[in-house]
Amino acid sequence: MNIDIISFLINLTCILLLPSLKFSIAVDTLDLSQSFTNGMTLVSQGEKFVLGFFSPMNSNKSYLGIWYKNIPVQTVVWVANGVKPINDSSSGILTLNDTGNLVLKQRDEVVWYTTSQQGSLNPVAQLLDSGNLVIRGEKETNPEVYLWQSFDYPSDTILPGMKLGWNLRTHTERRMTSWKSPDDPSPGDLYWGSLLYNYPEQYLMQGTKKYVRVGPWNGLHFSGVPDQKPNNVYAYNFVSNKDEIYYTYSMLNDSVISRMELNQTDSIYYRYVWSEDQQIWNVMKSLPKDRCDYYRKCGVYGICTITGSLLCECLSGFSPRSPAAWNSSDWSQGCVRNKPLNCTNKLNDGFVKVKGLKIPDCSHTWVDQTIGLNECRLKCLNNCSCTAYTNSNITGEGSGCVMWFGDLIDIREFENDGQDLYIRMDASELGKEGHDGLKKNLISILASIIIASGMLFFGYRLYILRHRITEDSENIELEGGRGSEDEDDLDLPLLTYSTLVTATDNFSIKNKIGEGGFGPVYKGRLASRQEIAVKRLSSDSGQGINELKNEVKLIAKLQHRNLVKLLGCCIEEEHRMLVYEYMPNNSLNWLIFDDTKSKLLDWPKRFNIICGIARGLLYLHQDSRLRIIHRDLKPSNILLDDKLNPKISDFGIARIFGLDQTHGNTSRVVGTYGYMAPEYAADGLFSVKSDVFSFGILMLEIICGKRSRGFYVENESPNLVTHAWSLWKEGRALELIDKNIKDACVESEALRCIHVSLLCVQQFPEDRPGMPSVILMLGSDGEFAKPKEPGYYVNKYSFAETSKSGQSEKTITNQMTITLLEAR
């Protein structure tokens, strides 16, 4: 009995307490019977968000809004009556009426209301943990049939799960709009707009003006925001179908709080992440990021390059409309074609591929998701108002087609992850893009090949050349000369040891002219009075006589006017010697680093030397029947003939020592610090690209007349490469040029060489051009890739320059033998 009374009392208490409990503890729902006044709040179930009345800092007005529950700096994410504030801080009343609409009144005047049409028997308004205020039927849980939701009416903030863009069924835009000022939540003039072009685009708009073009969605990110990458904070998505086009994001970790906001004061879009430790909002991302982000910064056909010496440049094939204005940094008038397009022979037009871009304004575009790049090109070519095309979706290999009509506007360049664009050009302009240069160079390559390889391989070469002319010039890796010449066994003269003893005066020290990688070199003179250079190989070649003979024969077949010619050899008992033609003008090493002698090498001669070395190296890499990686390219291995033509020496020696593969990883590093590519010096990885690196260094040395190592400018730059890079970045590259040759110097040529050499010394092999591209670049005035910061192997053991000739030293690094070879 007693127990019954107690339980009755408990029940009674509970019933009596319940309503007040309901109001003092978090309530997230408002129903028909209630009116919601100033001082009351709805709190979402998980206590994430609050709905209530607030007054911005310096304002006496009050607004109905939503803010974070647990963030001490009141951060309002949504405002109902931004346009029509309540004049004081006590008279606002929010109610839900029978038709399922929220109505906000100040006394009897309606200041805000929702416009749901559907109606529902028992509507409720509920604040969800997502920050979404929804009106729904009491029993309804399906978001699709909510009567109304605040997420459809964003203020200046986009929360996870909100959609930024269009509902095409209702033709309404969910638009993020800035507050007028921090104390006035009425709409400012800055908003994120989704423009429904054929290729829809996102913009930050300022009133009706395009302010920052975020760009179209390219499958991976907005074209103007290439640094948007999958990250561990939020996931993002862009949805485009017949019903909707929108951008949205979601948090990957529920305990991380992030929001996107448009800020009128700064005119910037921010993505913030709340820092629990510091109790502040940290900026994770912002737009505009730099000057190139402002719409139309460089006018039509201009390209904005934040790292360039000039902010704006014309696309190649175009020139400033007003050179004077352009000169005074007024880019607004943009650029015009050097050669206008001519519709009568549209099929003769072609396209220039420009890489690394934010693609142009998409107002006048046409899209077909179903066709690829080739068909796209044809379609564009066939319509003479089509000015450019590219893939509409760059995911994977790329797919889809987007074409531009009319002028190309608002192009910028990105350091990483920009897109390709194919720009229409008159046929006569295409040549200037490199095809002319290509032909010009091919003719010289052809010439040298004919001289070198003899007419025997002519037909085959011609085939390759024709092939190359029609193909893109980049990255064609052809193994040259396979086929016909196997049976031709150029007999290599064998010289006797005694002949060479006589020729070199018993290898007298006064005849020693150098110390190469695999042994000393002596000058000699045969009985016929022909001068020769004899390389005496150290005997530990590890090869049997027959293998050695075979290798020597192969090397003897490498003949090119920019390679030192192997005349014969001597293999007798323990003696192993190679006999080369003698080069009267010694090595480059001997000339360019000497203040007096270097004056003999004026710019035209140096340029000729650079091009010669490049051709020789190209031949080794891909035109000879063997692919030879030189592995030790440096000035002392470049000999000069009587007309100062360069000839590469010491190639193929590694093969004789059984070291050569054309590509690979070796425990025996043969090379010289200062010229070795980082991956080769550090890990023994070599390839044609490690030779390209050495070539880049060599080229810089030729231009500057300074050694790569042992180079100090008041101790600011540890070496020539870093010095060159810092001057280049500052637009002072011309200062690199050897002062001894300033007079006859063709600055554009020298600059181009410096540019190419910086590309050659990039950190990563894949960023370096191959020798075919190097040759093309040396011979053309086209635009080519911007170098990134170069790579350089820092030798931890020795910075000291060992310039005494004949010196060699051995250092152990990572258990690899590094042979330091020095000047001959």
Active site residues: 632
Residue 120 in contact with residue 91, Cβ under 8 Å? no
DSSP, residue by residue, 399-467: B-EEEEES--B-EEE-SSS-EEEEEEE-HHHHGGGTHHHHHHHHHHHHHHHHHHH-GGGHHHHHHHHHH
Strand partners, 318: 337
Which is it for the CA torsion 186, 190, 193, 195, positive or negative? positive
Judged by CB under 6 A, does residue 385 bind ligand NAG?
Answer: yes
DSSP, residue by residue, 90-119: S-EEEEEETTTEEEEEETTEEEEE----S-
Span of 34-42, 251-259, 716-724, 796-804 interacting with ligand NAG by CB under 6 A: 251-259
Q: Quick one: which of 138, 227, 266, 375 contacts ligand NAG (CB under 6 A)?
A: 266
Residue among 671, 696, 694 at smallest CA distance from 683: 671
Span of 103-111, 412-420, 695-703, 781-789 interacting with ligand NAG by CB under 6 A: 103-111
Residue 680 in contact with residue 668, Cβ under 8 Å? no
Binders of ligand NAG among residues 780 to 819 (CB under 6 A) are none
Q: Quick one: which of 41, 55, 89, 99 contacts ligand NAG (CB under 6 A)?
A: 99
Residue number, 55 or 550, with CB nearest to ligand NAG: 55
Shortest approach of ligand NAG to residue 399 CB, angstroms? 5
> What are φ and ψ of residue 151, in 5° steps?
-60, -20
Binders of ligand NAG among residues 282 to 341 (CB under 6 A) are 323-324, 327
Residue number, 39 or 323, with CB nearest to ligand NAG: 323
Q: Quick one: which of 71, 93, 103, 427 contacts ligand NAG (CB under 6 A)?
A: 103
Residue among 354, 352, 218, 212 at smallest CA distance from 289: 212
Judged by CB under 6 A, does residue 118 bind ligand NAG?
Answer: no
Shortest approach of ligand NAG to residue 395 CB, angstroms? 4
Q: What is the per-residue binding string for ligand NAG in 410-429, x denoting contact by CB under 6 A?
A: --------------------
Residue number, 36 or 693, with CB nearest to ligand NAG: 36
Judged by CB under 6 A, does residue 666 bind ligand NAG?
Answer: no
Shortest approach of ligand NAG to residue 750 CB, angstroms? 19
Span of 12-20, 388-396, 678-686, 781-789 interacting with ligand NAG by CB under 6 A: 388-396
Judged by CB under 6 A, does residue 393 bind ligand NAG?
Answer: yes
Give the ranges where 619-770 is alpha helix by DSSP (H): 653-656, 678-683, 688-704, 720-729, 747-760
Judged by CB under 6 A, does residue 344 bind ligand NAG?
Answer: yes
Residue number, 81 or 453, with CB nearest to ligand NAG: 81
Residue number, 34 or 763, with CB nearest to ligand NAG: 34
Q: Quick one: which of 161, 168, 189, 219 contacts ligand NAG (CB under 6 A)?
A: 219
Cα 99 to Cα 101: distance, rounded to the nearest angstrom: 6
Shortest approach of ligand NAG to residue 56 CB, angstroms? 9
Residue number, 366 or 414, with CB nearest to ligand NAG: 366
The full length of the chain comes to 824
Which residue reads 């039927």 in tokens? 137
Judged by CB under 6 A, does residue 35 bind ligand NAG?
Answer: no
Span of 9-17, 241-249, 390-398, 667-675 interacting with ligand NAG by CB under 6 A: 390-398
Span of 93-101, 120-128, 222-230, 350-358 interacting with ligand NAG by CB under 6 A: 93-101
Shortest approach of ligand NAG to residue 101 CB, angstroms? 4
Question: How many CB atoms within 10 Å of residue 279?
Answer: 10
Which is it for the CA torsion 593, 594, 596, 600, positive or negative? negative
In sequence order, the 6+-apart residues with CB closer than 8 A to the CB of 783 are 316, 354
Residue 272 in contact with residue 287, Cβ under 8 Å? no
Judge residue 767's burial from the number of C-beta atoms within 10 Å of its C-beta, 0-12 exposed, 13-18 middle, 19 or more buried: middle
Residue number, 129 or 801, with CB nearest to ligand NAG: 129
CA triple 577-578-583, angle to 5 deg? 130
Judged by CB under 6 A, does residue 167 bind ligand NAG?
Answer: no
Q: Quick one: which of 11, 13, 90, 97 contacts ligand NAG (CB under 6 A)?
A: 97
Residue number, 344 or 546, with CB nearest to ligand NAG: 344
Residue number, 186 or 661, with CB nearest to ligand NAG: 186
CA triple 551-555-557, angle to 5 deg? 120
> What are φ and ψ of residue 714, in 5° steps?
40, 40
Give the ranges where 638-687 is alpha helix by DSSP (H): 653-656, 678-683
Secondary-structure breakdown of the chain: helix, strand, coil percentages, each rounded to the nearest 5: 25, 30, 45
Q: What is the per-residue binding string for ligand NAG in 349-378, x denoting contact by CB under 6 A?
A: -----------------x------------
Residue number, 383 or 662, with CB nearest to ligand NAG: 383
Q: How far is CA 388 from CA 293, 422, 470, 567, 659, in A?
A: 21, 5, 21, 55, 50
Judged by CB under 6 A, does residue 342 bind ligand NAG?
Answer: yes
Q: Which amino acid is at 688?
A: V
DSSP, residue by residue, 254-279: TT--EEEEEETTTTEEEEEEEETTTT
Judged by CB under 6 A, does residue 106 bind ligand NAG?
Answer: yes
Judged by CB under 6 A, does residue 249 bind ligand NAG?
Answer: no
Which residue reads 């040298």 in tokens? 448
Cα 399 to Cα 520: distance, rounded to the nearest angstrom: 59
Q: Quick one: which of 19, 72, 207, 396 contacts ligand NAG (CB under 6 A)?
A: 396
Q: What is the per-residue binding string for ligand NAG in 52-81, x denoting contact by CB under 6 A?
A: ------xxx---------------------
Q: Quick one: which of 309, 395, 665, 808 contacts ligand NAG (CB under 6 A)?
A: 395
Cα 85 to Cα 88: distance, rounded to the nearest angstrom: 9
Span of 65-73, 106-114, 287-295, 636-644 interacting with ligand NAG by CB under 6 A: 106-114
Residues that bind ligand NAG (CB under 6 A): 58-60, 86-87, 97-99, 101, 103, 106, 109, 111, 113, 179, 182, 219, 253, 255-256, 263, 265-266, 323-324, 327, 342, 344-345, 366, 383, 385, 393, 395-396, 399, 405
